């Protein structure tokens, strides 16, 4: 059954009851093992086998997801899920991102305010972050299609030279699956969208796959030299669009000892980040394989095992950069 791993943030129970402005008191890792494709609001509403949930390795005896909250955190908007878990007989309240593995910039001591809310809507596990079949990756032996790579192959990284692949996976989506889940259609980045040779030819990636961005606008508005932006957030930038014409797609993802920036079709983009949700289509055996390769991840420490190679931009930050470039 698919396994999903996300960060969750503990808040006072009063936030669930009354929406008072909370301060995050703890950051934990929640692992969900489920037999279907969605995180439902309770075990009673789950149409398949019951969801098995643990938090930092501890069993959750019951759970209830209540709201989709629109909040302001660190000066920007975010949408979160609000829920309660019973752990060791104690009811505790948490929040989590609605469409990603974490709430960007949130940590212990971070406060936020509730702007509006609605009833909880189920989360689809199937957001995938990876490369499309045929993508050329720069390796020790030159440019190679991503589907030809194997564990142990040396891939060129921007920060740490040649690094061996420690894990690689594949997800195939058929015509029928893309019709049912159109949000998983690849994002196509046309050749030269970011400048001459960036990318060298059209690059197709999954919607959640992050591309490295830089430039004076990033420095001016956010004080960053480089950052990572989800491909779906870049749609609307010159030459970047959802590929509505593909009949089916094969996605590939690979991981190193750490999160790295690799060169795909000449354009810097990310490798697989374990801190991201372990995606729909990646079964429990594959999850165990990753943990076997990286025993330090077994403890699922909130921070140490999922440090991003570059700051990760929020959707509204990317939108502001694109808007200012128009």
Q: pLDDT value at position 3?
A: 61
Query: In the chain, what percentage of residues exceed pLDDT 70?
Result: 82
Q: Based on the number of CB atoms within 10 Å of its own CB, is 244 exposed (0-12), middle (13-18) or buried (19 or more)?
A: exposed
pLDDT at 301: 39
Q: Which CATH number fits domain 131-273+308-325: 3.40.720.10, 2.170.16.10, 1.10.10.10, 1.10.260.40?
A: 2.170.16.10
At residue 281, the pLDDT reads 40
Residue 82: HSE in the Cβ half-sphere, 13 Å Cα cutoff: 25
Q: Alpha-carbon distance 262 to 217, whole Å?
A: 23
Token pair of 311 as six digits: 């700051």
Cα–Cα distance between 230 and 235 in angstroms, integer? 9
The answer to whether 255 and 290 are in contact (CB under 8 A) is yes
Domain range summary for the chain, segments of one domain joined by +: 3-124, 131-273+308-325
Q: Which of 297, 273, 260, 252 is nearest to 154 (CA)?
A: 260
CB atoms within 10 A of CB 45: 12
pLDDT at 308: 84
**pLDDT of 133:** 85
The sign one gets for the Cα dihedral 107, 29, 253, 206 is negative
pTM equals: 0.57
Q: Give Dmax (Cα) for the chain.
A: 59
What parts of the chain have a pLDDT lower than 70? 1-3, 35-37, 48-50, 99-101, 124-130, 274-306, 323-326
């Amino acid at each position: 059954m698919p396994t999903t791993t996300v960060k969750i943030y503990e808040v006072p129970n009063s936030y669930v009851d009354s929406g008072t402005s909370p301060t995050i008191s703890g950051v934990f890792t929640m692992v969900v093992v489920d037999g279907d494709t969605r995180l439902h609001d309770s075990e009673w509403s789950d149409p398949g086998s019951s969801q098995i949930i643990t938090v930092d390795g501890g069993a959750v005896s019951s759970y209830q997801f209540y709201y989709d909250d629109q909040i302001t955190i660190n000066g920007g908007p975010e949408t979160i899920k609000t829920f309660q878990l019973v752990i060791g007989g104690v009811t505790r309240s948490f929040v989590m991102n609605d469409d990603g593995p974490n709430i960007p910039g949130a940590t212990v001591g971070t406060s936020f305010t509730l702007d509006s809310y609605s009833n909880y809507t189920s989360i689809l596990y199937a957001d995938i972050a990876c490369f499309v079949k045929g993508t050329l990756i720069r390796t020790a032996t030159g440019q190679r299609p991503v589907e030809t790579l194997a564990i142990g192959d040396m891939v060129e990284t921007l920060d740490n030279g040649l690094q061996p692949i420690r894990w690689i996976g594949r997800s195939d989506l058929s015509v029928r699956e893309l019709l049912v889940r159109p949000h998983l259609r690849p994002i196509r980045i046309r050749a030269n969208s970011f400048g001459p040779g960036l990318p060298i030819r059209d690059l197709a990636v999954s919607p959640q796959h992050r591309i490295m961005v830089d430039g004076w606008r990033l420095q001016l508005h956010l004080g960053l030299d480089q950052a990572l932006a989800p491909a779906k957030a870049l749609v609307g930038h010159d030459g970047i669009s959802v590929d509505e014409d593909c009949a089916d797609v094969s996605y590939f993802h690979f991981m190193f000892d750490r999160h790295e920036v690799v060169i795909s079709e000449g354009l810097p983009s990310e490798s697989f980040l374990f801190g991201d949700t372990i995606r729909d289509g990646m079964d429990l055996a594959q999850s165990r394989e990753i943990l076997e390769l990286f025993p330090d991840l077994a403890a699922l420490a909130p921070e140490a095992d999922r440090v991003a190679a570059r700051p990760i931009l929020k959707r509204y930050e990317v939108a502001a950069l694109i808007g200012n470039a128009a």
